[in-house]
A and B are shown apart, each in its own frame.
Chain A
Amino acid sequence: MIVANRKPFEEIMEMLKPYKKILLLGCNECVTVCSVGGAKEVAVLASEIRLSRLKNRIPVEIKEHTLERQCDPEYALSISSFVNDYEIIISMACGCGVQTIAETYREKYVVPAVNTTFMGSSEEHGVWREKCQGCGNCILDKTLGICPVTRCAKSILNGPCGGSQGGSCEINKDTPCAWQLIIDRLKQMNMMEKYLEIQPVKDWSTSRDGGPRTRIREDLRI
Protein backbone atom coordinates (compact mmCIF):
# COMPACT_ATOMS: atom_id res chain seq x y z
CA MET A 1 0.00 0.00 0.00
CA ILE A 2 0.95 3.65 -0.23
CA VAL A 3 1.94 4.98 3.18
CA ALA A 4 1.64 8.62 4.17
CA ASN A 5 2.08 10.90 7.18
CA ARG A 6 -0.26 13.68 8.12
CA LYS A 7 1.17 17.15 7.55
CA PRO A 8 1.83 19.24 10.65
CA PHE A 9 -1.38 20.90 11.85
CA GLU A 10 0.14 24.38 11.54
CA GLU A 11 0.93 23.82 7.86
CA ILE A 12 -2.63 22.62 7.23
CA MET A 13 -4.12 25.65 9.01
CA GLU A 14 -1.88 27.99 7.02
CA MET A 15 -3.18 26.52 3.73
CA LEU A 16 -6.78 26.87 4.92
CA LYS A 17 -6.33 30.34 6.42
CA PRO A 18 -8.32 32.44 3.94
CA TYR A 19 -11.18 29.95 3.58
CA LYS A 20 -14.41 29.45 5.49
CA LYS A 21 -16.12 26.69 3.52
CA ILE A 22 -13.92 23.62 3.36
CA LEU A 23 -14.42 20.22 1.74
CA LEU A 24 -12.31 17.66 3.60
CA LEU A 25 -11.90 14.62 1.42
CA GLY A 26 -10.73 11.21 2.61
CA CYS A 27 -9.92 8.05 0.67
CA ASN A 28 -10.99 4.50 1.52
CA GLU A 29 -7.92 2.83 0.06
CA CYS A 30 -4.26 2.83 1.16
CA VAL A 31 -4.48 5.88 3.44
CA THR A 32 -7.33 4.23 5.36
CA VAL A 33 -5.23 1.11 5.91
CA CYS A 34 -2.25 3.14 7.10
CA SER A 35 -4.56 5.24 9.35
CA VAL A 36 -3.80 8.63 7.90
CA GLY A 37 -6.61 9.65 5.56
CA GLY A 38 -9.69 7.43 5.93
CA ALA A 39 -13.12 8.42 7.24
CA LYS A 40 -11.86 8.26 10.83
CA GLU A 41 -8.90 10.56 10.21
CA VAL A 42 -11.15 12.92 8.24
CA ALA A 43 -13.42 13.19 11.29
CA VAL A 44 -10.47 13.79 13.62
CA LEU A 45 -8.90 16.48 11.41
CA ALA A 46 -12.30 18.16 10.89
CA SER A 47 -12.79 18.27 14.64
CA GLU A 48 -9.31 19.71 15.14
CA ILE A 49 -9.90 22.41 12.52
CA ARG A 50 -13.24 23.33 14.10
CA LEU A 51 -11.65 23.50 17.57
CA SER A 52 -8.84 25.71 16.31
CA ARG A 53 -11.24 28.02 14.48
CA LEU A 54 -13.58 28.18 17.50
CA LYS A 55 -10.63 29.13 19.65
CA ASN A 56 -9.62 31.89 17.25
CA ARG A 57 -13.26 32.95 16.67
CA ILE A 58 -13.01 32.43 12.90
CA PRO A 59 -16.10 30.78 11.41
CA VAL A 60 -15.72 27.57 9.42
CA GLU A 61 -17.98 25.09 7.70
CA ILE A 62 -16.48 21.70 6.96
CA LYS A 63 -18.00 18.98 4.84
CA GLU A 64 -16.46 15.60 5.65
CA HIS A 65 -16.57 13.13 2.80
CA THR A 66 -14.61 9.98 2.01
CA LEU A 67 -14.38 8.55 -1.49
CA GLU A 68 -14.00 4.87 -2.26
CA ARG A 69 -10.85 5.80 -4.18
CA GLN A 70 -9.57 9.29 -4.98
CA CYS A 71 -7.16 8.18 -7.70
CA ASP A 72 -9.98 7.18 -10.02
CA PRO A 73 -11.86 9.75 -12.15
CA GLU A 74 -15.15 7.84 -11.77
CA TYR A 75 -15.10 8.21 -8.00
CA ALA A 76 -13.73 11.74 -8.23
CA LEU A 77 -16.79 12.73 -10.28
CA SER A 78 -19.14 11.47 -7.57
CA ILE A 79 -18.68 14.69 -5.57
CA SER A 80 -19.54 17.00 -8.48
CA SER A 81 -23.01 17.81 -7.10
CA PHE A 82 -21.67 19.60 -4.02
CA VAL A 83 -18.04 20.45 -4.80
CA ASN A 84 -18.97 24.02 -5.81
CA ASP A 85 -20.50 24.69 -2.39
CA TYR A 86 -16.96 24.84 -0.97
CA GLU A 87 -14.11 27.29 -1.46
CA ILE A 88 -11.27 24.80 -1.06
CA ILE A 89 -10.77 21.03 -1.15
CA ILE A 90 -8.29 19.53 1.26
CA SER A 91 -7.49 15.95 0.37
CA MET A 92 -6.25 13.33 2.81
CA ALA A 93 -5.37 10.91 -0.01
CA CYS A 94 -1.90 10.20 -1.39
CA GLY A 95 -0.43 12.44 -4.07
CA CYS A 96 -2.22 10.41 -6.78
CA GLY A 97 -5.60 11.19 -5.21
CA VAL A 98 -4.85 14.88 -4.76
CA GLN A 99 -3.85 15.15 -8.42
CA THR A 100 -6.90 13.28 -9.70
CA ILE A 101 -9.20 15.59 -7.73
CA ALA A 102 -7.29 18.66 -8.94
CA GLU A 103 -7.52 17.44 -12.57
CA THR A 104 -11.22 16.68 -12.22
CA TYR A 105 -12.08 20.07 -10.68
CA ARG A 106 -9.80 22.49 -12.49
CA GLU A 107 -11.51 25.57 -11.10
CA LYS A 108 -10.98 24.41 -7.51
CA TYR A 109 -7.99 24.92 -5.26
CA VAL A 110 -7.03 21.43 -4.04
CA VAL A 111 -4.45 21.06 -1.27
CA PRO A 112 -2.89 17.99 0.40
CA ALA A 113 -3.31 17.19 4.10
CA VAL A 114 -0.73 14.40 4.06
CA ASN A 115 2.83 13.84 2.92
CA THR A 116 2.91 10.72 0.76
CA THR A 117 5.91 8.81 1.99
CA PHE A 118 6.48 5.33 0.58
CA MET A 119 5.15 2.01 -0.72
CA GLY A 120 5.20 -0.38 2.18
CA SER A 121 3.48 -3.03 4.23
CA SER A 122 2.14 -3.28 7.78
CA GLU A 123 4.50 -5.09 10.06
CA GLU A 124 2.14 -4.96 13.03
CA HIS A 125 -0.66 -2.66 14.16
CA GLY A 126 0.73 0.87 13.91
CA VAL A 127 4.01 -0.03 12.17
CA TRP A 128 4.56 0.36 8.42
CA ARG A 129 7.81 -0.22 6.62
CA GLU A 130 9.02 0.64 3.13
CA LYS A 131 9.24 -2.47 0.96
CA CYS A 132 9.11 -1.46 -2.71
CA GLN A 133 10.45 1.40 -4.82
CA GLY A 134 8.63 0.50 -8.03
CA CYS A 135 11.91 0.19 -9.95
CA GLY A 136 10.05 -1.38 -12.86
CA ASN A 137 12.18 -4.53 -13.01
CA CYS A 138 11.53 -6.86 -10.09
CA ILE A 139 14.34 -9.11 -8.88
CA LEU A 140 12.60 -10.62 -5.83
CA ASP A 141 12.99 -14.09 -7.39
CA LYS A 142 16.76 -13.78 -7.06
CA THR A 143 16.70 -12.33 -3.56
CA LEU A 144 14.02 -14.62 -2.16
CA GLY A 145 11.42 -12.00 -1.45
CA ILE A 146 13.67 -9.37 0.13
CA CYS A 147 14.17 -6.25 -1.97
CA PRO A 148 17.72 -4.87 -1.89
CA VAL A 149 16.69 -1.95 -4.14
CA THR A 150 14.44 -0.66 -1.36
CA ARG A 151 15.74 -2.15 1.84
CA CYS A 152 19.46 -1.65 1.25
CA ALA A 153 20.38 1.99 1.84
CA LYS A 154 22.67 1.86 -1.20
CA SER A 155 20.34 -0.30 -3.33
CA ILE A 156 23.28 -2.55 -4.15
CA LEU A 157 22.57 -5.72 -6.08
CA ASN A 158 25.66 -7.70 -5.05
CA GLY A 159 25.85 -7.18 -1.32
CA PRO A 160 26.41 -6.82 1.48
CA CYS A 161 28.78 -3.85 1.68
CA GLY A 162 31.32 -3.20 4.43
CA GLY A 163 28.74 -1.25 6.41
CA SER A 164 26.83 -4.38 7.37
CA GLN A 165 27.52 -5.06 11.03
CA GLY A 166 25.90 -7.67 13.22
CA GLY A 167 22.94 -7.86 10.82
CA SER A 168 22.33 -4.10 10.86
CA CYS A 169 22.96 -1.37 8.33
CA GLU A 170 25.55 1.26 9.16
CA ILE A 171 23.02 4.06 8.66
CA ASN A 172 21.06 2.95 11.73
CA LYS A 173 21.31 -0.10 13.95
CA ASP A 174 17.50 -0.47 13.82
CA THR A 175 17.62 -0.90 10.04
CA PRO A 176 18.34 -4.54 9.19
CA CYS A 177 20.94 -5.14 6.49
CA ALA A 178 18.86 -6.30 3.51
CA TRP A 179 21.74 -8.42 2.23
CA GLN A 180 22.15 -10.14 5.59
CA LEU A 181 18.43 -10.97 5.44
CA ILE A 182 18.83 -12.27 1.87
CA ILE A 183 21.81 -14.49 2.78
CA ASP A 184 20.03 -15.84 5.86
CA ARG A 185 17.04 -16.70 3.72
CA LEU A 186 19.15 -18.26 0.94
CA LYS A 187 20.82 -20.48 3.55
CA GLN A 188 17.49 -21.42 5.11
CA MET A 189 16.09 -22.34 1.67
CA ASN A 190 19.31 -24.16 0.73
CA MET A 191 19.66 -21.95 -2.35
CA MET A 192 23.06 -20.37 -1.73
CA GLU A 193 24.04 -21.04 -5.35
CA LYS A 194 21.85 -18.04 -6.28
CA TYR A 195 24.19 -15.84 -4.25
CA LEU A 196 27.05 -16.74 -6.58
CA GLU A 197 25.27 -15.27 -9.61
CA ILE A 198 26.71 -11.80 -10.15
CA GLN A 199 23.99 -9.29 -10.90
CA PRO A 200 24.81 -7.01 -13.84
CA VAL A 201 24.50 -3.25 -13.64
CA LYS A 202 20.81 -2.45 -13.28
CA ASP A 203 19.01 -0.61 -16.05
CA TRP A 204 17.35 2.21 -14.12
CA SER A 205 15.49 3.52 -17.15
CA THR A 206 12.48 1.42 -16.07
CA SER A 207 12.54 3.27 -12.76
CA ARG A 208 12.01 6.99 -12.09
CA ASP A 209 15.23 7.72 -14.01
CA GLY A 210 13.34 7.11 -17.23
CA GLY A 211 10.86 9.87 -16.37
CA PRO A 212 7.19 9.56 -15.38
CA ARG A 213 5.78 6.18 -16.34
CA THR A 214 2.50 5.26 -18.01
CA ARG A 215 0.87 1.87 -18.41
CA ILE A 216 -1.67 1.32 -21.14
CA ARG A 217 -3.77 -1.76 -21.84
CA GLU A 218 -5.48 -1.10 -25.13
CA ASP A 219 -8.04 -3.89 -24.68
CA LEU A 220 -9.41 -2.22 -21.55
CA ARG A 221 -9.79 1.23 -23.05
CA ILE A 222 -13.29 2.34 -23.91
Chain B
Amino acid sequence: MNIMALYNIKGGVGKTATCVNLSYLAAVEGASTLLLDLDPQGSASFYFRIKPSKKFNTKKFLKGKKKIDKNIKGTDFDNLDLLASDMSYRNLDIILNDLKRSKKQLRDILAPFETEYEYIFIDCPPNITLVSENVFFAADYLLVPLIPTTLSMLSYTKLSQFFSNHSIPAEKILPFFSMVEKRKKMHQEIIKKYQEENKKFLKICIPFAADVEKMGILRKPVVALKTNSAASQAYQKLWQELKMLTQ
Protein backbone atom coordinates (compact mmCIF):
# COMPACT_ATOMS: atom_id res chain seq x y z
CA MET B 1 0.00 0.00 0.00
CA ASN B 2 1.21 3.41 -0.98
CA ILE B 3 -0.28 6.41 0.77
CA MET B 4 0.01 9.67 -1.14
CA ALA B 5 -1.30 12.88 0.34
CA LEU B 6 -1.98 16.06 -1.60
CA TYR B 7 -1.13 18.88 0.71
CA ASN B 8 -0.51 22.58 0.86
CA ILE B 9 -1.02 25.13 3.64
CA LYS B 10 -2.64 27.37 1.04
CA GLY B 11 -5.90 26.64 -0.70
CA GLY B 12 -6.71 26.99 -4.40
CA VAL B 13 -3.41 25.57 -5.64
CA GLY B 14 -4.82 22.59 -7.56
CA LYS B 15 -4.65 20.10 -4.73
CA THR B 16 -8.03 18.48 -5.22
CA ALA B 17 -7.80 18.47 -9.02
CA THR B 18 -4.48 16.63 -8.81
CA CYS B 19 -5.76 14.20 -6.21
CA VAL B 20 -8.82 13.35 -8.30
CA ASN B 21 -6.88 12.87 -11.51
CA LEU B 22 -3.99 10.89 -10.05
CA SER B 23 -6.27 8.51 -8.19
CA TYR B 24 -8.26 8.02 -11.38
CA LEU B 25 -5.07 7.22 -13.31
CA ALA B 26 -3.94 4.69 -10.71
CA ALA B 27 -7.33 2.96 -10.88
CA VAL B 28 -7.39 2.89 -14.67
CA GLU B 29 -4.14 0.94 -14.57
CA GLY B 30 -5.91 -1.69 -12.52
CA ALA B 31 -4.61 -0.78 -9.06
CA SER B 32 -7.31 -0.81 -6.42
CA THR B 33 -7.38 2.74 -5.16
CA LEU B 34 -9.05 4.72 -2.40
CA LEU B 35 -9.49 8.46 -2.37
CA LEU B 36 -9.77 9.73 1.18
CA ASP B 37 -11.37 13.15 1.24
CA LEU B 38 -10.27 14.81 4.48
CA ASP B 39 -11.18 18.34 3.45
CA PRO B 40 -14.49 19.39 5.09
CA GLN B 41 -15.28 21.37 1.93
CA GLY B 42 -15.69 17.95 0.25
CA SER B 43 -14.58 19.07 -3.21
CA ALA B 44 -13.16 15.68 -4.21
CA SER B 45 -16.39 14.00 -3.08
CA PHE B 46 -18.31 16.58 -5.09
CA TYR B 47 -16.32 15.84 -8.24
CA PHE B 48 -17.28 12.18 -7.95
CA ARG B 49 -20.91 13.00 -7.07
CA ILE B 50 -20.64 11.18 -3.78
CA LYS B 51 -22.29 12.45 -0.61
CA PRO B 52 -21.40 11.06 2.80
CA SER B 53 -24.25 9.14 4.37
CA LYS B 54 -26.19 11.07 7.00
CA LYS B 55 -24.93 8.86 9.80
CA PHE B 56 -21.28 9.40 8.96
CA ASN B 57 -19.18 11.91 10.89
CA THR B 58 -15.81 12.55 12.52
CA LYS B 59 -16.45 10.15 15.39
CA LYS B 60 -17.32 7.31 13.06
CA PHE B 61 -14.22 8.07 11.02
CA LEU B 62 -12.00 7.85 14.08
CA LYS B 63 -13.54 4.50 15.06
CA GLY B 64 -11.78 3.11 12.02
CA LYS B 65 -11.99 0.01 9.85
CA LYS B 66 -15.57 -1.27 10.28
CA LYS B 67 -17.26 2.12 10.31
CA ILE B 68 -15.11 3.29 7.42
CA ASP B 69 -15.78 0.13 5.40
CA LYS B 70 -19.49 0.85 5.63
CA ASN B 71 -19.05 4.35 4.31
CA ILE B 72 -16.60 3.84 1.47
CA LYS B 73 -18.39 4.16 -1.83
CA GLY B 74 -17.49 3.13 -5.32
CA THR B 75 -17.00 5.91 -7.85
CA ASP B 76 -18.28 5.57 -11.41
CA PHE B 77 -14.89 4.13 -12.33
CA ASP B 78 -13.70 0.57 -11.79
CA ASN B 79 -11.12 0.09 -8.99
CA LEU B 80 -11.64 3.58 -7.57
CA ASP B 81 -13.40 4.00 -4.22
CA LEU B 82 -13.90 7.11 -2.17
CA LEU B 83 -14.52 7.97 1.44
CA ALA B 84 -16.52 11.19 1.33
CA SER B 85 -15.75 13.96 3.76
CA ASP B 86 -18.27 15.31 6.20
CA MET B 87 -18.71 18.88 7.42
CA SER B 88 -17.99 17.59 10.92
CA TYR B 89 -14.37 17.08 9.85
CA ARG B 90 -13.92 20.79 10.60
CA ASN B 91 -13.58 19.72 14.24
CA LEU B 92 -11.28 16.83 13.53
CA ASP B 93 -8.20 18.46 15.05
CA ILE B 94 -10.03 19.37 18.26
CA ILE B 95 -11.18 15.80 18.75
CA LEU B 96 -7.75 14.42 17.82
CA ASN B 97 -6.21 16.62 20.49
CA ASP B 98 -8.10 14.72 23.20
CA LEU B 99 -6.90 11.33 22.01
CA LYS B 100 -3.79 9.38 22.92
CA ARG B 101 -1.19 9.14 20.17
CA SER B 102 -2.90 12.19 18.74
CA LYS B 103 -0.43 12.48 15.84
CA LYS B 104 -0.51 8.84 14.82
CA GLN B 105 -4.26 8.30 14.70
CA LEU B 106 -4.60 8.48 10.92
CA ARG B 107 -1.76 6.03 10.43
CA ASP B 108 -3.50 3.53 12.73
CA ILE B 109 -6.82 4.06 10.98
CA LEU B 110 -5.38 3.36 7.54
CA ALA B 111 -3.24 0.36 8.48
CA PRO B 112 -6.07 -2.24 8.16
CA PHE B 113 -6.60 -1.21 4.51
CA GLU B 114 -3.14 -2.45 3.59
CA THR B 115 -4.40 -5.56 1.79
CA GLU B 116 -7.40 -3.96 0.13
CA TYR B 117 -5.84 -0.96 -1.57
CA GLU B 118 -2.69 -0.53 -3.56
CA TYR B 119 -2.98 3.24 -3.36
CA ILE B 120 -4.63 5.61 -0.96
CA PHE B 121 -4.76 9.24 -2.04
CA ILE B 122 -5.58 11.79 0.64
CA ASP B 123 -7.03 15.17 -0.21
CA CYS B 124 -6.01 17.35 2.73
CA PRO B 125 -7.59 20.52 4.11
CA PRO B 126 -5.48 23.64 3.44
CA ASN B 127 -4.08 24.53 6.84
CA ILE B 128 -1.49 23.32 9.27
CA THR B 129 -3.18 21.69 12.23
CA LEU B 130 -3.11 18.40 14.07
CA VAL B 131 -4.93 16.86 11.11
CA SER B 132 -2.04 17.87 8.84
CA GLU B 133 0.46 16.42 11.26
CA ASN B 134 -1.47 13.14 11.22
CA VAL B 135 -1.22 13.18 7.45
CA PHE B 136 2.53 13.83 7.61
CA PHE B 137 3.00 10.71 9.71
CA ALA B 138 0.58 8.49 7.81
CA ALA B 139 1.56 9.34 4.24
CA ASP B 140 4.43 7.68 2.43
CA TYR B 141 4.62 10.72 0.17
CA LEU B 142 3.39 14.24 0.54
CA LEU B 143 2.69 15.72 -2.88
CA VAL B 144 2.81 19.48 -2.60
CA PRO B 145 1.38 21.48 -5.49
CA LEU B 146 2.90 24.96 -5.67
CA ILE B 147 1.88 27.91 -7.79
CA PRO B 148 5.18 29.46 -8.94
CA THR B 149 4.83 32.70 -6.97
CA THR B 150 6.99 34.12 -4.22
CA LEU B 151 4.42 33.64 -1.46
CA SER B 152 3.71 30.13 -2.50
CA MET B 153 7.38 29.26 -2.35
CA LEU B 154 7.51 30.77 1.13
CA SER B 155 4.86 28.30 2.25
CA TYR B 156 7.01 25.48 0.90
CA THR B 157 10.02 26.66 2.89
CA LYS B 158 7.88 26.77 6.01
CA LEU B 159 6.68 23.26 5.44
CA SER B 160 10.24 21.97 5.04
CA GLN B 161 11.20 23.67 8.28
CA PHE B 162 8.25 22.14 10.05
CA PHE B 163 9.34 18.69 8.91
CA SER B 164 12.88 19.13 10.13
CA ASN B 165 11.74 20.63 13.46
CA HIS B 166 9.49 17.64 14.07
CA SER B 167 11.97 15.03 12.77
CA ILE B 168 9.69 13.82 10.01
CA PRO B 169 11.71 12.49 7.07
CA ALA B 170 11.94 15.30 4.53
CA GLU B 171 12.19 12.75 1.67
CA LYS B 172 8.46 12.33 1.98
CA ILE B 173 7.90 15.77 0.48
CA LEU B 174 7.54 15.80 -3.29
CA PRO B 175 6.88 19.36 -4.49
CA PHE B 176 5.67 20.12 -7.99
CA PHE B 177 4.43 23.19 -9.83
CA SER B 178 0.75 23.61 -10.46
CA MET B 179 -1.50 26.11 -12.24
CA VAL B 180 1.48 27.21 -14.27
CA GLU B 181 0.86 29.93 -16.85
CA LYS B 182 3.23 29.76 -19.74
CA ARG B 183 2.99 33.41 -20.67
CA LYS B 184 3.84 34.63 -17.16
CA LYS B 185 7.55 35.35 -17.06
CA MET B 186 7.69 35.15 -13.29
CA HIS B 187 6.25 31.64 -13.32
CA GLN B 188 8.91 30.47 -15.73
CA GLU B 189 11.70 32.08 -13.74
CA ILE B 190 10.64 30.62 -10.42
CA ILE B 191 10.25 27.16 -11.93
CA LYS B 192 13.67 27.35 -13.51
CA LYS B 193 15.31 28.55 -10.32
CA TYR B 194 13.78 25.94 -8.04
CA GLN B 195 14.09 22.97 -10.36
CA GLU B 196 17.76 23.75 -10.86
CA GLU B 197 18.56 24.42 -7.22
CA ASN B 198 16.50 21.68 -5.69
CA LYS B 199 16.44 18.26 -7.33
CA LYS B 200 13.43 17.26 -5.20
CA PHE B 201 11.11 19.25 -7.44
CA LEU B 202 9.27 17.03 -9.90
CA LYS B 203 10.01 17.69 -13.58
CA ILE B 204 6.40 17.74 -14.69
CA CYS B 205 4.37 20.91 -14.18
CA ILE B 206 0.59 21.08 -14.32
CA PRO B 207 -0.58 23.97 -16.51
CA PHE B 208 -3.35 26.35 -15.60
CA ALA B 209 -6.23 25.17 -17.78
CA ALA B 210 -9.86 25.99 -18.27
CA ASP B 211 -10.51 22.27 -18.67
CA VAL B 212 -9.50 21.70 -15.07
CA GLU B 213 -11.83 24.43 -13.86
CA LYS B 214 -14.66 22.87 -15.87
CA MET B 215 -14.32 19.74 -13.76
CA GLY B 216 -16.57 21.51 -11.27
CA ILE B 217 -19.36 21.69 -13.81
CA LEU B 218 -18.89 18.31 -15.47
CA ARG B 219 -17.96 16.56 -12.23
CA LYS B 220 -15.49 14.10 -13.66
CA PRO B 221 -11.67 13.87 -13.72
CA VAL B 222 -10.38 15.86 -16.68
CA VAL B 223 -8.26 12.83 -17.60
CA ALA B 224 -11.46 10.83 -18.07
CA LEU B 225 -13.20 13.60 -19.98
CA LYS B 226 -10.53 14.94 -22.29
CA THR B 227 -7.68 12.51 -22.46
CA ASN B 228 -5.71 14.57 -24.94
CA SER B 229 -6.02 18.01 -23.41
CA ALA B 230 -2.83 19.70 -22.19
CA ALA B 231 -3.87 19.29 -18.56
CA SER B 232 -4.68 15.59 -18.99
CA GLN B 233 -1.36 14.97 -20.66
CA ALA B 234 0.41 16.72 -17.80
CA TYR B 235 -1.40 14.64 -15.15
CA GLN B 236 -0.52 11.45 -17.00
CA LYS B 237 3.12 12.41 -17.19
CA LEU B 238 3.12 13.45 -13.55
CA TRP B 239 1.68 10.06 -12.63
CA GLN B 240 4.38 8.26 -14.60
CA GLU B 241 7.09 10.36 -12.94
CA LEU B 242 5.62 9.66 -9.52
CA LYS B 243 5.50 5.95 -10.11
CA MET B 244 9.16 5.97 -11.13
CA LEU B 245 10.07 7.84 -7.96
CA THR B 246 8.00 5.85 -5.52
CA GLN B 247 8.44 2.27 -6.68
Decide if A and B are genuine partners: no
Chain B residues close to A by CB (< 8 Å): none
